[in-house]
C-alpha cells in the first residue's frame, strides 16, 4: 500500500506563501526565503549536503503525485512530466483544454478521496508526494494523508498564506524523525487515526 506524504516548507509562524500570492508573483512576496535551504552553494535546486541530503533524497523518491491546481498551474504541470509518474490534480473544475496534451496528468473532479485512491493505486507500494496547502487541508480532513514532512524555516513570515487553516477536528500526530540543520528543522510526522 502506498504512503501519502505532504512536503511543505513553512515558516515558524505557519506561512507557506508570502502576501500578494498571485499568478504573476507565485508564492507571494519573499517566497524564496522559505526555500533557501533547498538551494545548493552552486545555486542548483536540491544540491544540498549534510543532514538535509537525506531529506532531499526521500523527497525525490515518489511514485505518484497529488498536487493542488494552483501549484500545478503555476508550473504548467511540470511540462506534463515529473519523474515519469502519474500526476493527479484534485479540482472541482475540469482542466484547461491545454492539459489534454499531457497524458500523465489526470484531473479528478469528484473529491480528494478518489484523487488519493487513484494516486495510491498508481504508486503501488511507493510514496505519493502531496503538494499544496488546500490539498493538504482537504486530505487531512478526509483522513487520506498519511505523513507530513515539514521543512520548518527559522523565520517569522508575519503574513501570507498559512499551511494549516482552521480544521473541523483535532488530529493527533506522531513524531517520526527530526533532522536539525541551521537552515531548516525537518520534521516528519505520521498522522494518527
Are the beta carbons of 108 and 78 closer than 8 angstroms? no
Please tell me the number of Cα atoms within 13 Å of 81 on its side-chain side.
3
Least CB distance to a copy of itself at residue 15 (A): 9
Task: Please say whether the beta carbons of 189 and 177 come within 8 A.
Answer: no
Q: Which is nearer to a copy of itself, 122 or 139 (CB)?
A: 139
For 26, 55, 148, 164, the CA distances from 11, given in Å and listed in that order, are 17, 18, 15, 12
Instruction: Output the smallest distance, CB 175 to a copy of itself, in A.
Output: 5
Minimum CB distance to a copy of itself smaller for 8 or for 115: 8
Smallest separation (angstroms) from a copy of itself to the CB of 27: 14
CB 49 → a copy of itself: shortest distance, Å?
Answer: 18
Using the minimum distance from each CB to a copy of itself, give the nearer residue, 75 or 173. 173
Helix (H/G/I), strand (E/B), else coil: 129? strand
Query: Scanning the structure block, which residue is given the C-alpha cell 502531496?
Result: 130
Of 91 and 159, CB closest to a copy of itself: 159
- Applying CB under 8 A, the residues found at the interface with a copy of itself are 12-14, 30, 33, 140, 148, 150, 152, 154-159, 162-164, 166-175, 178, 180-182, 185, 187, 189
Q: What are the grid coordinates assigned to 42, written together?
A: 552552486
Give the closest residue to 162 by CA, choosing from 11, 7, 35.
11
Instruction: Give the residue with the Cβ less far from a copy of itself, 58 or 73.
Output: 58
Q: Name the minimum Å distance from CB 94 to a copy of itself.
A: 31
For CA atoms 95, 98, 19, 171, give the dihedral sign: positive
Amino acid at each position: 500500500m502506498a504512503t501519502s506524504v505532504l512536503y511543505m516548507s513553512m515558516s515558524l509562524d505557519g506561512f507557506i506563501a508570502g502576501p500578494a500570492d498571485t499568478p504573476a508573483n507565485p508564492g507571494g512576496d519573499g517566497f524564496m526565503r522559505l526555500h533557501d535551504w533547498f538551494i545548493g552553494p552552486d545555486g542548483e535546486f536540491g544540491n544540498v549536503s549534510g543532514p538535509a541530503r537525506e531529506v532531499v533524497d526521500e523527497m525525490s523518491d515518489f511514485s505518484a503525485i497529488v498536487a493542488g491546481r494552483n501549484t500545478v498551474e503555476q508550473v504548467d504541470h511540470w511540462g506534463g512530466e515529473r519523474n515519469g509518474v502519474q500526476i493527479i490534480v484534485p479540482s472541482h473544475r475540469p482542466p484547461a483544454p491545454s492539459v489534454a496534451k499531457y497524458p500523465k496528468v489526470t484531473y479528478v473532479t469528484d473529491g480528494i478521496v478518489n484523487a488519493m485512491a487513484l494516486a495510491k493505486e498508481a504508486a503501488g507500494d511507493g510514496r505519493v508526494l502531496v503538494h499544496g496547502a488546500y490539498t493538504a487541508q482537504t486530505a487531512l480532513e478526509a483522513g487520506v494523508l498519511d505523513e507530513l514532512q515539514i521543512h520548518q524555516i527559522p523565520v517569522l513570515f508575519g503574513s501570507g498564506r498559512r499551511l494549516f487553516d482552521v480544521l473541523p477536528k483535532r488530529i493527533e500526530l506522531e513524531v517520526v524523525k527530526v533532522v536539525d540543520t541551521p537552515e531548516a528543522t525537518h520534521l516528519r510526522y505520521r498522522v494518527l487515526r
